[in-house]
Amino acid sequence: VMALCLKQVFNKDKTFRPRKKFEPGTQRFELYKKAQASLKSGLDLKAVVQLPPGESINDWIAVHVVDFFNRINLIYGTMSEYCTEKSCPIMSGGLKYEYRWQDDSKYKKPTKVSAPQYMCMLMDWIEMLINNEDIFPTRIGVPFPKQFQQVCTKILTRLFRVFVHVYIHHFDSIINMGAEAHVNTCYKHFYYFIREFSLVDHRELEPLVRMPQGWGS
């Protein structure tokens, strides 16, 4: 069913295609293959996220940020028809949490927007960052900028909010589409990764700490 949903997304809405691929032959591509092989082998997800011996932490983080962006982009794409201006006029995670948008260009101050608007701007903003060679260099020997992990923290924090919104407001739709196992695995993988490298502030994780399919702090 999930494959069918993803196929429909590809056909229906070009906005939610994965937008970044790793070039074969590059070190990052090899690292990506290694990460995917571990994931598919059914290893414990806590072990899968650990930095392989001898690998650069920034390369490892870069590979995961791009991969999570692609996967979360698709997950949201499968349910975008249920997340509308009418159903979700505020980008929120239940009654207690509201997320405002700020991007230092058009929205210089945190601005209240609907969930679909937030998601659209978020995916465009991440795409712009990961395609920027000064931030995510792809050429061998080109170093990562000093603020690289800081930028990744911001990206991953905002991607976590997609899970918050989807789980709290659209979990019925996930179940109806038969996508629950897929979304849960992606969330679990994401959660263990950000915890392994302390990439998202623990306060940001609070909305999902008590969910039944959550994995605790």
Tokens standing for residue 165? 């919104």
The answer for residues whose C-beta is within 8 angstroms of residue 167's C-beta and 6 or more apart is 174, 183, 187, 208, 211, 213
Domain 1-10+51-208: give its CATH architecture.
Up-down Bundle (1.20)
Give binding residues for Zn(2+) as ranges.
Answer: 83, 88, 165, 170
By the 8 A CB rule, do 5 and 78 touch?
yes
Give binding residues as ranges.
Answer: 83, 88, 165, 170
Return the pLDDT at 105: 85
The confidence band for 2, taking pLDDT boundaries of 50, 70 and 90, is: very low
How far apart are the C-alpha atoms of 194 and 46, rounded to whole Å? Answer: 11
The dihedral built from the CA positions of residue 22, 60, 162 and 185, taken in this order, carries a sign that is positive
Return the pLDDT at 13: 46
Return the pLDDT at 22: 62
145: amino acid identity, one letter: P
Return the pLDDT at 200: 96
Beta-bridge mates of residue 111: 101
In this structure, of 21-30, 126-135, 153-162, 178-187, the range with the lowest mean pLDDT score is 21-30
Going by the DSSP 8-state scheme, the letter that residue 137 receives in this structure is: -
Q: Where are the domains of the chain?
A: 1-10+51-208
Residue of 132, 193, 134, 131 lying closest to 159 (CA atoms): 193
The mean of the pLDDT values for the chain is: 84
Q: Distance between alpha carbon 203 and the CA centroid of its chain, in Å? A: 18
Predicted model pTM:
0.83
Query: Please, what is the end-to-end C-alpha distance for the chain in angstroms?
Result: 31
